Amino acid sequence: MNEFDRFRTPFEERYSSKEMLYLFSPNKKFTTWRKLWIALAESEKELGLNITQEQINEMKSHIEDIDFEYAKEMEKKFRHDVMAHVHSFGKVCPSAMPIIHLGATSAFVGDNTDIIVMKEALELVRSKLVAVLENLKTFALKYKDLPALGFTHFQPAQLTTVGKRAALWMQDFMLDLENLVFEHSNIRFRGVKGTTGTQASFLHLFNNDHEKVRQLDKLVSSKMGFEKVFGVSGQTYTRKQDSRIIAVLAGFAESAHKFATDIRLLANLKEVEEPFEKNQIGSSAMAYKRNPMRSERVCALSRFIIAASSNTYYTHSVQWFERTLDDSANRRLSISETFLAADAVLELLLNITSGLVVYEKVIAKRISEELPFMATENIIMESVQHGADRQEMHEQIRIHSMEAGKRIKQDGLDNDLLKRVIADDKIPLNEKDIERILNPKEFIGRAPEQTVEFIENEIDPLISRYKTNKNFEGIVNV
């Protein structure tokens, strides 16, 4: 059987980065198990158990030396993955074999490894999300003064700027980043809790010395990089921690979907487009097509994340007493694939936000088509300033607006409202007056200032705090 005769997850083939794929790889999982067994043995030795430094050194020298085929054979024999890897580790560490996994239950390596992986995966998500914010910051500052037609209900509304709209996208991602930082800082380690969470096996090992058992829990957790540890657990840590962490990814997916939808709509309007490569084909039939495939993929994967996140709520809600095993198969899928999908979305966002294309003349043309209607109140007020009667001006402008609207909608012609206004002897404004009134920058309010203030006050501090030196390219595999 070759590689094309079996299913391969699209996350590996198309979507996710090597960094995130590694975090959920067998190598990462089982080397972490071995590091946990070493931390346990070291801590037990420090607290007085009969474990030698030679045994620990032997274990440390074989962390990466995993015979996966032998482990598979052992799992078929024992029908138990943890015991299979205990024997696999013991095969290369014969002197340490008697003390590997001493006093522990399967959840010691399984649960603690899941927590370690999710913590590191959140750190990768955080770094990439900061890079996305940095891309959007550059874009927002570049276009902070460029007027653009705003939309409410996807109908023309007051003007905004292209940069201010990007600030709205940034604000969503900023809130996601804040949630991520909070949950990351509050991740708790399962620690050393024993078979049903009572630490009975360890109490037995330490001859009923409760203080040593407490110290064992702290020592192992500290060696694995955790200050916060669950005070109580069943056999497993509460699965509520999973749902809290995955909720961060679902919230990010909401924001990503909204951003990508806006880009798709703007692409239809021909105002802003995602990057489009020189030889990229939009349609096999329609050669002119420039489909927003990156943004569409963001939406597709974001929906997957939002849907998949519900698994964690169901899993926690149906755990019986100290644990049931119906969480295991579900968590193998829901946690890994949700992180892989989030990583894939981030790769797409990095690509899109680093190469957004703005068509300023199309944006200006759309403003020129819609602004005359929006400026009618300003025209009335200016006419009054020139001595005209407000009610008479309102009626004249109303009549001209209706006729111009009819011309646009029924006849498919351009908007001639301004020509009508200038030609009307009853309206005391000339062409220069109208041009001054219709300067688009007079209709954008504080949009440029808001954009700059928002970036300086809220975005810059986050970027400064969490930016890494790694260069994320945002590679898109089609």
Task: Please identify every residue annotated as catalytic.
Answer: 153, 283
DSSP string, 420-450: HHHH-TTS---HHHHHHHT-GGGGSTTHHHH
| The pairing of beta strand 272-273 with beta strand 155-161 | unpaired
Please tell me whether residue 158 adopts helix, strand or coil conformation: strand
DSSP for 169-236 reads: HHHHHHHHHHHHHHHHHT--B--S--SSSS-HHHHHHTTT-HHHHHHHHHHHHHHTT-S-B-S--SSS
Half-sphere exposure of 52 (CA within 13 A, CB side): 8
- Helical segments of 226-327, H only: 240-269, 293-317
Q: Are 353 and 129 in contact (CB under 8 A)?
A: no
> Residue 187 region, left (φ>0) first, then alpha (ψ -120 to 50), else beta?
beta
For 426, list phi and psi in degrees, rounded to 5. -75, -20
Residues 115, 236: Cα–Cα separation, whole Å: 11
Q: CA-to-CA distance for 88 and 83, rounded, in angstroms? A: 8
Strand partners, 373: none
Closest by CA to 147, choosing from 441, 431, 406, is 441
Burial class (CB in 10 A: 0-12, 13-18, 19+), 41: buried
The neighbour count for residue 28, using CB atoms within 10 Å, is 16
Coil, helix or strand at residue 27: helix
